[in-house]
Amino acid sequence: MNIHPALGAAIVLALGPAVASAQDCDPNYGGVCVPVASDVDCAGGSGNGPAYVAGPVYVVGSDIYDLDRDGDGVACEPR
């Protein structure tokens, strides 16, 4: 885990199952490991964390972190 110097917040970039065990990944999302945290935001977005995920992320359950703003089932899409 890295600490972002400007934000003083942890940045967690989920790159796949090798990064974290399945028990550390929220089961509501697929494609990449979305960490279980008090809040998760898309990396590079305007969210304030404390955890971040790089997408695309597929919503397969409830979008508890509100990552899929347009409701199409794919979150943290490249711009």
Please state, in angstroms and rounded to a whole number, the distance separating the CA atoms of residues 70 and 75: 8
Q: Parse the chain into domains and list their residue ranges.
A: 1-61
- pTM over 0.85? The answer is no
Do residues 67 and 53 make contact, with C-beta atoms less than 8 angstroms apart?
A: yes
Q: Residue 78 — very low, low, confident or very high, per pLDDT cuts 50/70/90?
A: confident
**SS3 labels along 16-79:** CCCCCCHHHECCCEECCCCECCCCEEECCCCCCCCEEECCCEEECCCCCCCCCCCCCCEECCCC
pLDDT in tens, 33-61: 999 999 999 999 888 999 999 999 999 99
